[in-house]
Amino acid sequence: MTFTREDYIQAITRIFDKNNHAIGTGFLVAPGYILTCAHVVLQAIGIDKKNFALYEGVPTDLIALDFPVLANGQKIDAKVVAWLPYSLSQGDVAGLKLLADEPSGAKSIPLTQIKFSDIKDEEHSVYGFGSVEGGQSDAYKPKTIIAGERFQFYKAGNPNDETIKEGFSGAPVWNEQRNCVIGMIATAMVSKEEQRSKAYAIPKKELDKGSNGILKQLRVYSLCDLIEKHLQQLGNEQKQKLRKAIATAFYLCDSGSVWIEKKTLQLQLLGLSQLGNRGWDGVDRLRQFAVFLATMDAVPGSMYRQIKNWVEYSRFNFDSLQTLAISEKKERNVSPAYPWEHLVVEVKPDEQEQKNVYISMWAIGDPDTYDSREPPPPLLETKKLLFTELPSFIDQWIDEEESLDNPMVHFFVPRYWLARNLDSYKTKSGLTLGSQYKLVMRIDLSQSPTLGKYYKWWQEKWQKILREKVQSLAGATFVRADITQKKQLLELKYAEMAILENLTEAQVEEVFTFITKKTALPVALWLRRSELSDRVDHVLDTKVVELPQRILKERLNALEEEENHCLGHHLSLVWEDPNIVTPTMNLQFDQEVC
């Protein structure tokens, strides 16, 4: 993730005293957490400057602040959660926890560790609140290093430019050339003429120094808040799955007994943050833990997105780290806590070479936590192969992937491919895909889109199946529709599940275009040999939820039977679960539903 001067300014907070005067500055360094100076906090709660050095305890008063660029005047209370008492040469740092969400658009700004010698000739900007309106100075350059490893800055540019003075304490120092924050203003000295001034900044190295560095603490608290928020929102079963995923992520970080001995998640994460880097170049164990956790199938989609943002705010490439985490899990034989229940296979015809297809694959562990807007990384990004090779390729992939234990296979294809008998193609083992796995056909709406209002209608029908019919016998819930009778097809607008009679391969695209547009039918069953339609009733002697398994059994029974006369060779099931869609299809899906 890259950061701009605009991001820098939007992350800045204005801190008020009890009389509503702006007395200092802070900035967002982790989601929900502000960095500022200890003496700014003391001033905010009414402590006299002469007594700053005497005040060592952590203040308990709430601090009022706002984000003046993004939400001017909309004050947020914050409490002190990290504290290094006031000192002119060391300490004087405070971490604040926001008691309400930061405004939309505010990005946490990471600090970058820079050597003084590398930036001594570079210009820096500082935005602070010498007045309630605030102001920015672009006139400062580093001059030397003083006690406490602090950088001394001097006003080297336009003398009429804004001067760093009282009210700028706690402001982040922005390096113009590198587009990063290199430290925080602690103190300033201004001449009587205010034409020359010196400012002292605490560099990132000092803010993160030692096992209890304040920046490190705030990163831990922020990640802990993220995890605990989602734990509170989950039901008992999902909560247990997520707790197991957390334990696995600690294990993968080689955290020793840290996560076992510590009593709370926050203490566990603090313990982990104090361990040295391990294995991943330049990546500390806390971020390593976060990436491992994000790869777990028990992590809800919204939590996945927040973890990704949390990692990227620190200028790390989440996608490359995620690839590294998945690879290491495989090397160490660490499978997801729960087997993947669904294999999603997107099949796209090669328009240049009709014998070829492009396929992509995703695995889904728990459909309740799957979010196609932020899907797990694909098992297979994109691969080109002959269509005739597809069944054997899928079969081999499932055999070799430990976490794929008899998954339900969803083939997403363009509408005109629904007649393809993917279930009956033999693999290298001599078996068919349809005789080994619950295999259903899906319309890939990214390749075969339909009108917008039918997306919502489709979801509503699926929800009705889940509420009222999923435990009913299929024979009592399916309706029959002769596709040669338009009236019967149109009446499917009142149905959720149907048997399509007299449907030939040549009619599949036309009929399913009509059905999708006019009825949004989620579940359709038909026989590729229409003369066998009168024999389908015995397949419906099961609950709706068990229908894919029942059809698997019928296909298995057909293995040794003559193809032309056996029902199992010709069954096709379209099973349109809107909760399980491809990420590419979701782009279309989101636009239409909205």
Mind listing the pLDDT tens digit for each residue in 228-242? Answer: 999 999 888 888 889
Which of 30, 75, 80 is closest to 55 using CA atoms? 80
3-state secondary structure of 208: coil
Q: What is the mean pLDDT of residues 427-455?
A: 89
| Model confidence pLDDT, tens digit, residues 33-74 | 999 999 999 999 999 888 888 888 899 999 999 999 999 989
CA distance linking residue 112 with residue 268, whole number of Å: 26
- In the 3-class helix/strand/coil scheme, how is 391-433 assigned residue by residue? HHHHHHHHHHCCCEEEEEEEEEECHHHCCCCHHHCECCCCCEH
CA distance linking residue 557 with residue 569, whole number of Å: 9
The pLDDT, as a whole number, for residue 338 is: 54
CA distance linking residue 577 with residue 74, whole number of Å: 43
The pLDDT, as a whole number, for residue 592 is: 47
Residue pair 422/392 in contact (Cβ under 8 Å)? The answer is: no
| Model confidence pLDDT, tens digit, residues 254-292 | 766 666 666 789 999 998 988 888 888 889 999 999 999
* CB-facing half-sphere around the CA of 278: CA atoms within 13 A: 19
| Model confidence pLDDT, tens digit, residues 499-536 | 999 998 889 999 999 998 899 999 999 988 878 877 88
User: Range(s) for CATH 2.40.10.120 in the chain?
Assistant: 1-208
Cβ neighbors of 276 (< 8 A, separation 6 or more) are 285
Q: Which two tokens stand for residue 489?
A: 């097809």
User: Range(s) for CATH 1.10.472 in the chain?
Assistant: 214-331
**What's the Rg (C-alpha) of the chain?**
31
Place of tokens 């997107």: 346
In CATH terms, the fold of domain 214-331 is Cyclin A; domain 1 (1.10.472)
The pLDDT, as a whole number, for residue 591 is: 46
The pLDDT, as a whole number, for residue 225 is: 97
Q: What is the mean pLDDT of residues 296-314?
A: 89
pTM of the model: 0.62
The pLDDT, as a whole number, for residue 87 is: 80
| Model confidence pLDDT, tens digit, residues 479-505 | 999 999 989 999 999 999 999 999 988
Cβ neighbors of 263 (< 8 A, separation 6 or more) are none
Q: Which two tokens stand for residue 155?
A: 């006003």
Which architecture characterizes domain 1-208 according to CATH? Beta Barrel (2.40)
pLDDT over 50 (residue 593) = no
Stronger pLDDT, 111 or 331, i.e. the higher one: 111
CA distance linking residue 96 with residue 64, whole number of Å: 10
Q: How many residues are there in the chain? A: 594
Q: Where are the beta strands (DSSP E) in 12-149?
A: 12-16, 22-30, 33-36, 63-67, 72-84, 93-98, 124-128, 135-146
C-alpha distances out from residue 524 to 65, 228, 396, 435, 511, Å: 58, 42, 29, 20, 12
